Each structure stands twice: as structure tokens, then as C-alpha cells.
Structure 1
Amino acid sequence: MPIVHAPARAEYDWVIVGGGSAGCVLANRLSADPDTRVLMIEAGPSGEGVAEIDRADSWVSLLGSRYDWGYGYAPTARVDGRRIPIPRGRVLGGSSAINAMLWYRGHPRDYDRWEAEGATGWNAASMNRLFRVVEDWEGGADAWRGAGGPIRVERSRDPHPIAAALMAGAAEVGFDVIDDPNGATNEGVAWTNFSATTGADGVMRRWSAVRGYLAPVLERPNLDVLVGSRALGVRLEGPPGGERARSVRHVVDGRSVETAASRGIVLTAGAIDTPRLLMLSGIGDADALTAHGIRPLVDLPGVGANFQDHPLIEGVTARARHALGPVRDTGGGSMLNWRSSVAGEVPDLHSFVVQGPHGTPEVRDEYDLSGDVFAVSPGLMGSRSIGSITLRSGDPDAAPDIQPNFLAERADLDALVESLDTIQDLFGSRAFADLVAAPLAPAGRLDRREAERFVRRSVSTFFHAVGTARMGTDERSVVSPELAVHGVPGLWVADASVMPTIPTCNTLAPVYAIAERAAELLAEVR
């Protein structure tokens, strides 16, 4: 893999900051013009040859590893005073290289809502077009699915019995069985779609952004991919009020260097590091920047605000009647979407199977999860609580303060409490009779007080951080619907941070779609 360890030149046409899911898309698309020079900067290593990244059944071992930024959500009393880890990929491919490979678009109305909130041109139809560009769906192309795209999407070829039990059990208790959760409706139970492929050896392997977008184009002479280079910020030039993004400050071999961009800089560092870099560059809430000793250049109070993530109950566990055998696929295989009593017009609750124990450290201290156990873990895809990302200091080495405000909205707590009973209903179905020896954590149905306690001790994250550089046209938006940073010519954002509201799904697929649209928009910049 021809990766560089120092920029080949002092200036490129485009500099992409962040070699994750979105960055790899843009590196591919922008460098398709042989006369356009592109540099992509990634803080982490290449990840080349790492078996744990390649094998779908090893992904959990990557969490908290050297390939993870090691961030955590700040504790609150609402989550029982716990620090909740929020894994983010620190490796080429970003979170597409360490995640669970779940391919899920959510409900079409999620994206019509974006346009209604000011993201003109972003709606269900436009996103469906982009999803189809990205996909290489095992079932071939139709009105909803794409074929021949860079990202292979498949279902399990040999689902685990727990995955099969969820399919049958959900139907038994009254949920619809749907063929494709990425089609016209996502409400019901379905086999999981994975951004992965299963080989002749029966092993499922990850199909990351590197595999789909970057590896096929690494030999292009106009594309440089720099690994092990941490970005420090963007340098702006020009008179006050007329500053333009000119270069990126980043670390190469332990020293700070600057690389210029003649056409523009694109931040694809994700919903945590993109706002952090903007603030370190003097772009953000002016009073907050001043308090940290950073000279404010562009007052954008929306930077770091509007942080959203999906809360996950980790998890609802049962004692198995017999040995479960080796992990298949990613350890999952099927999923259920349904509505709580506080839901709107689309499903707000989601659950998936875990072929083993699933519990926070606090739950593991309270319950014995050893031996043959498994979980069906529910979470809230229709979450309402909104948090923020702020700087702790002006030191670029300092991690930001990340507060998702989980359970701040009463409706979020209510929905998650309801979800516990649904999982107990599933465990009590005939489909699970041969699998469940007894409910374990919790050990059956709970009253309201007990259920709230369990939720607060069990709530974690789906790893779906979004929203911190929201696109729109109002004073709290950070980028325009064309993804240009307000008030900063030459600077764009193209990652999960631009989402106005979090869609009811895993966020990998919409991030790829955002990056594909960004590439189309940036191709017009001269």
C-alpha cells in the first residue's frame, strides 16, 4: 500500500483532513481528475495487515485499542455517574475499520426532515440516489438498492440460531417480517445487512472505506495519503471579516508543518474532531474561544452544538440452555425496529442480537454474565436528547469535553424502559424456548423504578455521533447546504457532523452518501 509519511509537496489543490469513511470517498472522487492534486491526512496508522480489522468476528477487540481515539462521554447523574466510552476509529478507514459493519439507512422521512429544517436539496429522494451510488447490494439493483458501487453489502450466509430466533420470535409476538430494512419501510424484523462479504471459507470479512474507495485508487500519481499525521488546525488568511482557509497545520515526524490548499480544505474528521479542529482554528463561539485563549476569527456559535447520538441498552441478557458455539459473522445477524408509545410516525426503537454477554461494567458487577449467555440489546433510534462538544483548553493535545445528555428528555427514558418488556416478550416466545434457560440481566420484568435504575446503569452508545457542524441557513448552522463553512471561503465539512438531526439508523451509510454528494459539489469548485 503506497502510503506517504510526509507530504510530497507544500501545496495541493485539495487537502482532506481525516482518512475515515468520508475522507476515503473524497480522496477517490476528487483525485479522479488526473490534473487535481489531492492530499488526505490521517492521524492513525494504515491498519494494513491487521487481522482484527479484516475479520468481521473480531471487531469488538478493536474497541479501546490503539486504533480507537479513546474518547468518552462525560458522566451525569442521569447515567448513574458513569463515563461512557465512545469508540471512534483512529486508523485509515476511520470508524468503518473498527465498527460492527451494520448497513442500515433508516426511514426515508429522516431525510425529508433534513430539508424541512433548512438543508435544501437533502431529502429522501436525493439520499436514496446517493445510497444506490454507494452500494453493491447482494440482491442486485432496484428502485431502492444499488449494485456495482464501491461498498459491498451482504446478509449472513449462515445465520446464528439466536439471529433466527429473533426473526421467528418477533413474528410470533406480532411484528411484521420485512425482506429488506433498507427498502420502502424499516418497521419490523429483518436479517441484518452488513458492509462485509463472506468468502469461500465461510468467514465474513469487513468491507471498509479503505477496501471500497481507497485501495483501488492508491496508485494514482496525483493522490497522496499521509498516515500518522495529527491535524492541529486550519490556518486562515486575510483581513478581519474576510479570512479564507489557506492551509492545514499538522504533525509530521513530531514537528508541526503547514500544507497549503489552492482550491480548498475539507474536514472529514467526524462529529467529534471536526468541531474540535474548527474551534482550535478560531472558528466557533467567540466567547468560549476567548476563554480558552484562542483568538476568535469567525464567530459561529453552532460549532460543537447540536450533538446527537443513539442511546443503547447494553444489554438484555439471558442464560442459554446449551453451548452457543463459535461467533458467526459480526456476532449479530438480525434486527427489529418498532414503535414505543411515545414514537412519532416512524419506528423509534431498535434491537439486535449479541452472540454472547453484553453489559456495562456496572451491570457485570451486579450480575454473573459468565458461561453460555446471549443478549438481545435494545436502543433508541428516535432519540430526542441533544448535547454538545466543547474544548477543555486551547491545547490541541487535550481531548474535548463530550456531553450527549443521554436521557435528558423524559421521552427517551420512557421509550427505553418500554423496550425492556419487549425483549422479555421475545425471550418468552416459542422461538426462544430452546435457547433461553432463564432471563439473567435483568432477571425478568421490572417495575418502573427498577427499570429506570437498570436503564441508567446500562445505557451506552451505538457509536452514532452526529450533528456538531449542522448544515442549514439559520444563525446556529455551521455549514451551508453545499457544505461550505459559513463565513470561511475555502473550507468545507463532509462528515456526520453536518447532519441536522440524527437519522433512525446506523450512521455509516448516510456518511458515505454525504461524502458522495460533497464530491459532486466540490467538483464544481475552481
Structure 2
Amino acid sequence: MAPACVEAEEVYDYIVCGGGTSGCVIAGRLAEDLNATILVLEAGPDNADLENVHMAGGWSQNFDSETDWNIVTEHMPTVNNRQVKCSRGRFLGGSSGVNGTLCIRGTKQDYDDWCLDEWTGEKMWTYMAKAETFHDKDWFKADASVHGESGPLHTEPHDLAPISELFKESMIDQGLPYHSDMFSTGETPQGCGDVLRTVHQGIRSTAADFITKGYRRENVTIKTDATVDKILLEKKDGDLTATGVLTVSKDGQERAYYARKEVIISAGAYCSPTILMRSGIGAKDELEEHGIDCVVDLPGVGKNLMDHVLCFIFYEVSKPHLTNDHLVYHNNAFTTSYALYREHKTGVLSTFPFGIFGYARLDSRLASSPLWTTAPRKNGRDPMGLAPSQPNIEFWNTELYGGPKQFTDFPVEDGKSAFAICVLLFNQRSRGTVALRSKECADNPFVDHNYLADDLDMLVLSEGCRMANEIVMKGRGTRDVVRGSWPEGEGHHRFETRDEWVPYIRQHATTCYHASGTCKMGAEDDKMAVLDSRLRVKGVRGLRVADVSVVPKVNNGHTQMVAYGIGEGAAEMIKEDAKKGQDS
């Protein structure tokens, strides 16, 4: 039954809850059937007039406002009781409009490790390529076999700043050989290469492009400023069935929308599980604490929260114009750079300030660690559960001072320049949770990432930081242009032992905004699985979840292309299942 507040019934074939990365892909692909009607519900505004979405260099200005979900973790004892800001895009396009624009797929083994026939590495590579239109550059050595040519998502290589060229030289010098397109092919766990960006001709390409601009279709209805509160459920032919959704508008008005075929939740790792919970789908005891009747007892909802822990290590540069600080911070540089972007869509603000990237295995570096050598191993994997073809750590450099928005205190106004080396932990063993704060959709959830709770996570990340520091301080490209890691400022010998890195990491570790896993897919006998391998919510007909919350284990890369791949795969499965229903 529709709530009393509803004036008129709106019915669509498909309702997509969340206009973020996966949701827009699904809506756009379903709309290719011109006889289907699709409703996209987005909690935030349209992105058409959000300049800091389209201008990649303005990314951080979308945070701490109505265009950010403004989710903050609980105090986490595992990282010195810190809270971490988990910014997410709250507008049409979602986090595809605020992320680092990076296309880093990981390796095919990452997806084979999900052990689900519908989501093998080969299939995910196909889905990711389908989303893409790749634009080459003369200097880039692309592997054309892995790139798409007709998708709404436009990608291109990134032209490196001088400091990135020097860091590339140092990585090669320190044992990470150069493979230009390695982050698209997944060809090596040990090397460095260039990373494609979701930017073309100076403009960020977002998931919203799948249902706007040249892909706008009359059979897609987009409603912004509409937060999905819960799924409407009814018994049909003896089965619990999703029949629609209840939303709350910006001014607090409730409205229901109805689906003839399916409801698809695509609200991300923090919000997809909370929509399920408010609908009565989740752990029974947890729902009852909030006065919510449990209709499907699924204890895995909100569990298995994963992310990639990231550590920034800063260095001051001893020579001018190696970094891009002089194009942003010095004198009136920002005004000049902004004018250049507005007029020509070029310059430092047309790009995201990350440079060259690398992968590394740490087997030999950890061979003397008792924790590493005595830890259990399975099926030829290392203690982190990784095969030899999968990296333990990722490195990259920033091209100017900065990173998380709170990093504001380096004295660039004095004409100084700095950059950071970022160290990212893969296949972390620690898991966190997302839980309801209340049953009101206006209240953000409790989030506890439980970062670095496992000793092996700390061991591998600290060793990765030692390796990164050695690359910078010993590598032939950078060793003569840095003044030591900042802000510690004690030069080449600040960190003599692995244990000395531990307090540094606990202080400087942050999220990489790769939250995932809270509505994971799994086999029928997996009691913590929320979905089957076709993204269908267990115990409910006509209801799927499709975003990075569904992944059983986060890939050893970044999650943007995963979200696009999941959207493409989900759309194909929805179409296939609809055809089977028609045929039967």
C-alpha cells in the first residue's frame, strides 16, 4: 500500500536507488531498451552546474558541504583512537565526480578470487572495457586489446610533472621496471607505469554521462534531492517481493515510487546496507534495537567492510618548479591557473595532482620477519592471501603539496615546494562494520573501519613505507632534490627499523575512499553473504544491490573501474533475467 502522503502513483519498470557510479551505468544500459522505463533516485543535486566536479583540480571543494555525505568514522582504537572522514559524492554521478580519476583495475586474479562464475577476471575486464572510450597520446604505449572504444566513460593518459618523471626514474632504479599500460593490463605485480584518468579534453568524465549529455533518453526519469528511505515489500504468490521504494525529499516530504520489474540499490558501501536495514533486511538483533521489524534475517548486511589504508610521506623539494606548487600556491598563481582552465580547459586544474604509480611484492623484504615467516599460508599464497601475481603494495607521488583536505599547513606561501609519496596496503586482513545510528534516513550510519587491527596489516604497510622512503632517498631521480621526509625533517636516517614506522603510520594513515564489501555476494552456503552471484538479495524477489558493496574481497587496485564493471555486469544480468522471465 502507498503511504497516505502520496498524491499520485508513479510506476516504472526499474527503480535505481542511487545515481552514483554503478547506478548511472545500470540506468543507462537498461534504457537502451526503449520500451523499458527507468527511474533514478539521487539524494543530492544534479552535477550539471557543479564546476568542481567537471574541473578535476577542484575535487576537494565538493567535500564538507551538501555535495558530500559527510560520513565520519567512530573513534578507532587501532589508529590511535582517530576518526577518519569518509567523504563520498552526494550528487548525480556520485563519487565518480570527486575521486582521483584513476583507472587501476588490479589483476585478473583479484576477481577470480571471488570464486563466482559470473564475475571472473576475464568477464570483469570485458565489463570495464565496455564502459570506456580510450583516447591515446603519442608518448603512451597502450595495449589496445584491453581498452574500450565506444563507452560513455572517456579516459586518457596523464602528462607527468617533472617530479613524477624523477620519481619514475627512482622506481626503475630501485627495482620497479617500467610497463606503460600495466594498470590496465594487470600484467605485473612488480613495476611502475602510467595510469589512465577519467578526464578528456580537460573535463572529468563521470558516470552521470551514461544518462545525460549525448546519452540522455526519454525513458529515463531522474529525480534529484530524493533520499531513499526504505524498500517497499509485499508478499506476492507466497514470496517476499520488492514493489517500490519510499523516499524523503529535501524538505522532508515522503513519496513512494513503484517498480513493475525490479528495484536496484546502488547507494555504495555505506548507504546500500543501511537502506536494506531500514527495510527490515539485516541482522535481526541489530534491527530490533532500533524498533525495526526484521523481515529477512541476513547477518552479513553491513559487515565485511573493507578499504585500502593509505599513508602519505612528505618531502620538501630543493629545486624550483619540479612540483606544480608554483602553479597553485605561490603568489597569484591560482588566479592565473583558474583563468587558464575557464578559457581553455587546460593547465594544472584540468588534472588530478597524482603522478606515476608502482606495484611491489614484499616477499624478500619480509623474509627476516618472524611474524611473516610463521604466519599461516594456504595454496601457495603469502600470509596476506595473495598469489605471486598479485602486489602487496602500491606507490604513487603527488605532484604538489596536498592530499586529504586537512593537509594545509606546509608553508607554500614562502615559495616552498613539497610532494608526497603515497603507500597503499592491499588485501588487508582487518574488517570493519557499518551499522544504523537510528532508523531515520537523515542520520548517517556508524562506520568503524577497524584499520590496521591485524598485525600483518601493520607489518606489510610499514615495510611498504620503508621501501617508498628508500626509493625517494636512494633512487637516482630524486635523491639529490629532496630535503628529507616532511614533517619529520630528519633526513635520510629518520627511520632505521621497521618498528619506528609504526607510530608514524598510525599517525598518518588515512582512507583511500575504496569502501566496499558490506553487501557481499556469495555462495548459497555462505551465511554472511547478502546476495547471490547475480546480485539478488537473498530471500527477496525483485531486489538487487549493485555497487562496490557487493564485492566479497576488494581488488588490488582502485575501485572506480570496479564500480563501472559491476554496473555493466549488473545491467547485462538484469536484461538476461528479464528475457528469461518473458520467455517462460
> TM above 0.5, one fold?
yes
Mapped pair 1:264 → 2:316: no
Q: CA deviation at 1:461?
A: 0.7
> What is the alpha-carbon root mean square deviation over aligned residues?
2.3
The alpha-carbon deviation at position 486 of structure 1 amounts to: 0.4
Equivalent residues in 2 for 1:213-232, closer than 5 Å: 213-218=211-216, 220-232=217-229
Alignment of 1:337-416 (within 5 A): 337-340=359-362, 341=366, 344=386, 345=388, 346-358=390-402, 371-416=416-461
User: How far does residue 468 in structure 1 lie from its aligned partner after superposition?
Assistant: 0.5
| Counterpart mapping for 1:79-478 below 5 A | 79-115=79-115, 119-139=116-136, 142-156=144-158, 158-180=159-181, 181-187=183-189, 188-197=191-200, 199=201, 204-218=202-216, 220-238=217-235, 242-252=239-249, 253-323=251-321, 324=323, 325-326=326-327, 328=348, 329-340=351-362, 341=366, 344=386, 345=388, 346-358=390-402, 371-428=416-473, 429-433=475-479, 435-443=481-489, 444=491, 445-446=494-495, 447-473=497-523, 474-478=526-530
Instruction: After TM superposition, give the deviation of residue 435 of structure 1 in Å.
Output: 3.2
Larger C-alpha radius of gyration, 1 or 2?
2
TM-score by length of 2: 0.83
Which whole-Å CA distance do the structure 1 matches of 2:143 and 2:483 have between them?
43
Aligned letter for 1:171? Answer: I
Per mean C-alpha deviation after superposition, the further-off stretch among 258-267 and 206-215 is 206-215
Tell me if structure 2 keeps the 8 A contact 1:245–1:265. yes
Quickly say closer, same or farther: Cα 1:383–1:518, change in 2 above 3 A: same
Secondary structure class of the residue paired with 1:408? coil
Deviation at 1:213, TM superposition (A): 4.7
Counterpart of 2:483, as a letter, is: A
In structure 1, what residue type is equivalent to 2:199?
A: A
Counterparts in 2 of 1:186 and 1:74: CA distance versus 1, 3 Å: farther
- Aligned residue for 1:432, secondary structure, equals coil
Q: Distance in 2 between matches of 1:52 and 1:456?
A: 31
The question of 1:514 aligning with 2:516 is answered no
Match of 1:499 among 551, 555, 558: 551
Task: Kindly report which structure 2 residues correspond to 1:54-93, keeping only aligned pairs within 5 A, or say none.
Answer: 54-93=54-93
Could you tell me whether the CA contact under 8 Å between 2:244 and 2:259 is conserved in 1?
A: yes
Whichever residue aligns with residue 270 of structure 1, its letter is G
Identify which range, 323-332 or 289-298, moves more after superposition: 323-332
Could you say if the C-alpha distance between residues 311 and 276 of structure 1 is closer, same or farther in structure 2, counting changes exceeding 3 Å? same
Summarize deviations over 1:201-258 as a string: whole Å, max 9, x none.
xxx321111135533232x222100001111110111289832111100023531011
Q: d(CA) in 2 for partners of 1:362 and 1:94? A: 21
Alignment partner of 1:484 is 2:536? yes
1:67 is paired with a residue of what secondary structure?
A: coil
Instruction: Name the residue aligned to 1:3.
Output: none
What letter is aligned with 1:522? I
Q: 1:239 to 1:205 in 2, by over 3 A?
A: closer
Q: CA deviation at 1:12?
A: 0.7
* Alignment deviations for residues 160-180 of structure 1 (CA, whole Å, 9 cap, x no partner): 012111211100111111121
Task: Give the TM-score normalised by the residue count of structure 1.
Answer: 0.92
Q: Could you tell me how far 1:476 is from its partner in structure 2?
A: 1.2
1:359 is displaced (CA, Å) by: 6.6
Corresponding residue for residue 523 of structure 1: 575
Identity of aligned residues (%): 30
Give the letter aligned to residue 291 of structure 1: E
Q: Which amino acid aligns with 2:175?
A: G
Report SS of the residue matched to 2:114: helix
How far is the alpha carbon of 1:423 from its aligned partner? 2.1
Change (3 A) 1:240 1:274: farther
1:32 aligns with 2:78: no
